[in-house]
Copies of this chain bind each other. A is one copy, B any other.
């Protein structure tokens, strides 16, 4: 059996080496003034659907977006992004539960950074592991569907603690579910009282413009910094 202290030191080593590559990624993004969002959520919370709704609005404002899709298997999400006519790059992790900085570094060889304003990195659907790996992003955004229950911020705190914004998705279902959106927000803010919260429905488009405006603003702040 492997000694416990060695396991811990190796994990620390892996995170330290990730941090070095994340910094290198970040400097590439800074150099090119690209705003980068690392999207986290459980499987099926609606990360891809949100991108399908946000990106056309960004395109209308002449903001150039690109998506890196992280999936354990399949390029189903990339195909949905390709239909929007924006550049995208697929990472298939083949069982690995998160994206790491090295995967992003490799992806960047295939992305035209000179011609880009905002990069969305859609992480593997997993509320736990992706929170430990900095990819060089400006911030993490956690997506939570109202169908997942109001206790999730308490049960998976790192995703909420480490994110700058929370996007509550599928709010059209509030009519038919006994979900308590106020409790979701209360629990999330108890973990991270600086969390900026957006409520959206990709079915009715409610809240989508507000969220897109927020990303547009971040792109402009980055551009003029």
Q: A2-B10, A97-B126, A128-B129 are in contact. Are A157 and B44 (CB under 8 A)?
A: no
**Is A72 positioned at the interface, with any CB of B under 8 Å from its CB?**
yes
**Is A165 positioned at the interface, with any CB of B under 8 Å from its CB?**
no
Are A147 and B44 in contact, CB atoms less than 8 angstroms apart?
Answer: yes
Most buried by B among A6, A44, A132, A170: A44
Q: Pull 21 A–B residue pairs with CB atoms less than 8 Å apart, ordered by A.
A: A1-B13, A2-B14, A2-B17, A6-B10, A7-B10, A7-B14, A42-B43, A42-B125, A44-B147, A72-B158, A74-B151, A74-B154, A74-B155, A95-B128, A95-B158, A97-B97, A97-B129, A125-B127, A125-B155, A126-B127, A147-B173
Are B156 and A125 in contact, CB atoms less than 8 angstroms apart?
Answer: yes
Across the two chains, which residue of chain B brings its CB closest to A43? B42
Are B44 and A76 in contact, CB atoms less than 8 angstroms apart?
Answer: no
Interface residues of chain A, those whose CB is within 8 Å of chain B, are: 1-2, 6-7, 10, 13-14, 17, 20, 42-44, 71-74, 76-77, 95, 97, 124-129, 132, 145, 147-149, 151-152, 154-158, 170, 173, 176-177
A2-B14, A72-B155, A147-B173 known; 6 other A-B pairs, CB under 8 Å? A1-B20, A6-B10, A43-B149, A72-B128, A73-B157, A147-B170
Bound CA–CA A145/B148 (angstroms): 9
Bound CA–CA A14/B4 (angstroms): 10
Chain B residues, CB < 8 A from A157: 72-73
Are B170 and A173 in contact, CB atoms less than 8 angstroms apart?
Answer: no
Across the two chains, which residue of chain B brings its CB closest to A1? B17
Across the two chains, which residue of chain B brings its CB closest to A76? B151
Bound CA–CA A10/B156 (angstroms): 27
Across the two chains, which residue of chain B brings its CB closest to A131? B95
Chain B residues, CB < 8 A from A77: 155
Q: A14-B2, A126-B127 are in contact. Are A76 and B154 (CB under 8 A)?
A: yes
